[in-house]
Amino acid sequence: MRPLPALDRARQVTDALADYVENARLQAGERLPTERALMEQLQVGRSTIREAISHLQALGVIETRKGSGTYLLKPVSKATIHMPLSLDAGTLRDALLQTLEVRRGIECEAGMVAAAKRTAEDLALIERNLNEMERVHIEKGTSGPEDLAFHLAIYDATHNPLFRQLLEQMRETFWQFWQHPFERQDFARRSFPFHRTLFNAIAARDPEAAREETLKILAVVEEDIKEMSK
C-alpha cells in the first residue's frame, strides 16, 4: 500500500484496505495489518484508521479481537464495500419524504428491539449521547452529529448488526436529516423533548412505548419537511 495524499481521509483508508484485501488475496480468518502499520504505510492519524475500521466493522466485513488484532470476515473489494442504497428523487423534499418512510420502519423496530435487548452498558451509552445532544441543543438551539450519535447508540443496543449495516449503506441519504435541510437551523427542533421520552421507554424495557415515542419524533420531522419545503 502507498502513502495517501494529505487530503485523503477515512474513505480513502477504507478503499486502501479493500485494495489490500483484494490484491493480497486475503481470505476470511486472515489478519489485517495493525493500526500502527496502517498509520505508517498510509501516513494518516490513528483516529482516521479507527474510523475506517469502525465502518468496515459495521458492514460486517472485519472484526477486532481484543489482544489479537483485526481479522477479515469476508473478502471484499472497492466495488463491494461502496454499494450505498440511494434514490434519485427530483427534489430535496421528495428525497427526505421517501427516506423518512424507510427511517420510520427501521427506527421504530430498532427502538422496540433495543427496549427488549438493551444492556446496562447500552443504556449508559444512549444516555451519554442524549445528555450531549441536550447540552448542545440548549447552548446552540440545534444539534446534528449529537442527534445522530443518539440514534446510532439505539441501533447498537439491538445487538443486531444488520440495523447498523443498513444505516451505513444509506448514510449519505440519511445524513440529509442532520444537515439542516432547507437551510433551517430549527428543522425538527420540536422533536427534541421526545428523545428523552424515547430513552425513558428503552430504560423501562417498554417496546411499545419506544415505538410510540419514535413515531412522535418522525411525525415532527415529516411535518417540518412539508412545511419548510413550501
Same domain, 75 and 96: no
Other CB atoms within 10 A of residue 166 CB: 17
Report whether pLDDT(217) > 50. yes
In a domain, 3, yes or no: no
Q: Which of 81, 101, 122 is the last residue of a domain?
A: 81
How far is the C-alpha of 106 from the C-alpha of 102, rounded, in Å?
A: 6
Between 9 and 101, the higher pLDDT residue: 101
Cell of 52: 475506517
List, in sequence order, every beta strand (DSSP E) within the chain.
62-65, 69-72
Tell me, yes or no, whether 21 and 116 share the same domain.
Answer: no
Mean pLDDT over each residue of the chain, to the nearest integer: 87
Together in a domain, 63 and 103 = no
If phi over 0 gives left and psi between -120 and 50 gives alpha, with beta otherwise, what is residue 11?
A: alpha
Number of separate domains in the chain: 2
Same domain? 129 vs 204: yes
| 29: CATH | 1.10.10.10
Q: Domain containing 108 — which CATH number?
A: 1.20.120.530
Q: What is the pLDDT of residues 149-189, one digit of tens each?
A: 899 999 999 999 888 878 777 776 787 888 888 888 888 88
- Is residue 29 in a domain? yes
Set of cell numbers at residue 11: 474513505
More confident residue, 54 or 83: 54
Question: Are 111 and 214 in the same domain?
Answer: yes
Q: What is the 3-state secondary structure (H, E, C) of 172-215?
A: HHHHHHHCCHHHCCCCCHHHHHHHHHHHHHHHCCCHHHHHHHHH
75, 128: one domain: no
d(CA 123, CA 117): 10
d(CA 103, CA 106): 5
Q: Are strands 69-72 and 62-65 parallel, antiparallel or unpaired?
A: antiparallel
Shared domain check, 205 and 114: yes
Query: What was the pLDDT predicted at 34?
Result: 92
pLDDT at 154: 96
Same domain, 198 and 127: yes
In a domain, 86, yes or no: no
Q: Which of 59, 81, 103 is the last residue of a domain?
A: 81
Query: Residue 157 falls within a domain, yes or no?
Result: yes
Q: Are residues 56 and 138 located together in one domain of the fold?
A: no
Residue 19 has pLDDT above 90, yes or no: no
- Asked if residue 2 is part of any domain, the answer here is no
Q: Would residue 46 count as lying in a domain? A: yes
- 31 and 135 inside one domain: no
Last residue of a domain, one of 54, 81, 108: 81
Is the pTM of the predicted complex or chain greater than 0.85?
no
Number of Cβ within a 10 Å radius of residue 133: 22
Q: Which domain holds residue 161?
A: 92-228
Give domain status of residue 87, yes or no. Answer: no
